[in-house]
Amino acid sequence: MEEDLRIRRYSKKTQTEYVRCAANFVRYFMKSPDQMGEKEIRTFLVHLVEERKVSASVQKMHIAALKFFYSNTLKRPDIVQHIHYPRTGRPLPDVLSKDEVLAVLDAVESTKYRTIITTAYAGGMRISEACSLHCRGDIDSSRMVIHIREAKGGKDRYVMLSERLLKFLREYYKAARPAGLYLFPGQDPARPISASAVRSVFNQAVAKVGIKKHITFHCLRHSFATHLHEAGTDIRFIQSLLGHCSIRTTARYTHISMDQTAKIRSPFDLIEPSTPVQRGTHAA
């Protein structure tokens, strides 16, 4: 299975997750997977949902892993053809206001971590994308773009390079002088800083500011898209900047752009009764 995942060029993170999920399935029955079929898979999925009470995303990950394993590695696609992904709602994510973004950034004391978090917001990047930026070639000041390499799905893309961000990056570079490949190296200069370390610092800053919303690092990406939409940026440009395959994924930000929502007048405001309406009185 590991070889098949590498041949298909799945990301390392996906490889790790798929193998872990397949191992969970095998461990549950303690039987070789080629001796099991649809019945065992369904029993295992019921166990995940009703006993372990996993989230829909965790359930979907296990289903995707087992579909890959049986279809590609065991060459038995018939076993998983009737295993379907769960129906899930699409709750709107919490986003930070512009003032809240600035407050969180100000709460980060480390210049290095503040620069990483600022870069992620300014370019609408995933945490792994910000951590993996290269010193040379990725920050193109002549064209004012940032090159994001091998993002989700193995796709490259460009995002805008903010003039303010370029100033911050230059100040950081002069102070840190990263010697290796990565702009934000970890303890081992040959490797990028870990996403978990950046996520931990971000969570501490959010707690320090006292924001009560359910905010994760990925909310910076949601906030980036929402703020762009509120500023009037075309949804198709936002789709390109985020690297979304489908415009439907990007369109959800039209539902959380508060500036646009606040400008829409309720029909109740358009009703102007000719006479005051008093409670308890009814027309004949």
Q: Where are the domains of the chain?
A: 2-79, 98-262
Residue 94 has pLDDT above 60, yes or no: yes
How many other CB atoms are there within 10 angstroms of residue 198's CB atom? 23
Respond yes or no: is residue 199 known to be catalytic. Answer: no
Q: What's the pLDDT at 170?
A: 94
Of the candidates 114, 126, 227, 229, the residue annotated as catalytic is 126
Residue 84 has pLDDT above 50, yes or no: yes
Q: What's the pLDDT at 50?
A: 95
Of the candidates 47, 76, 244, 252, the residue annotated as catalytic is 244
CA distances from 57 to 47, 60, 280 (A): 15, 5, 51
Q: What are phi and psi of 124, to 5 degrees?
A: 65, 40
Give the homologous superfamily in CATH for domain 98-262: Intergrase catalytic core (1.10.443.10)
Respond yes or no: is residue 214 known to be catalytic. Answer: no
Respond yes or no: is residue 229 known to be catalytic. Answer: no
Per-residue confidence band for 283, with pLDDT thresholds at 50, 70 and 90: very low
Q: What's the pLDDT at 262?
A: 56
pLDDT in tens, 36-48: 999 999 999 999 9
pLDDT in tens, 2-36: 999 999 988 888 999 999 999 999 999 999 999 99
Short-list 62, 56, 13, 18, CA closest to 196: 13
Q: What's the pLDDT at 284?
A: 44
How many CA atoms lie within 13 Å of 125's alpha carbon, on the beta-carbon side? Answer: 30
The share of the chain scoring above pLDDT 90, in percent, equals 62
Of the candidates 18, 113, 172, 253, the residue annotated as catalytic is 253
Distance between CA atoms of residues 216 and 220, nearest Å: 8
Residues of 10-35 as b/e, b for ≥16 C-beta within 10 angstroms?
beeebbebbbebbebbeeeeeeebee
Of the candidates 143, 218, 236, 255, the residue annotated as catalytic is 218
Respond yes or no: is residue 218 known to be catalytic. Answer: yes
Of the candidates 47, 134, 149, 152, the residue annotated as catalytic is 152
Q: What's the pLDDT at 256?
A: 55
Distance between CA atoms of residues 283 and 164, nearest Å: 62
Contact 41, 66 (CB under 8 A): yes
The share of the chain scoring above pLDDT 70, in percent, equals 87
Which pTM was predicted? 0.72
pLDDT in tens, 259-273: 555 555 656 566 666
Per-residue confidence band for 179, with pLDDT thresholds at 50, 70 and 90: confident
DSSP secondary structure, 164-227, as one string: HHHHHHHHHHHHH---SSBSSB-SSTTSBPPHHHHHHHHHHHHHHHT--S---TTHHHHHHHHH
CATH number of the 2-79 domain: 1.10.150.130
Between 31-35, 55-59, 276-280, the lowest mean confidence (pLDDT) is in 276-280
How many CA atoms lie within 13 Å of 79's alpha carbon, on the beta-carbon side? Answer: 22
Q: What's the pLDDT at 39?
A: 96
Q: What's the pLDDT at 261?
A: 53
Over residues 182-211, the mean pLDDT reads 94
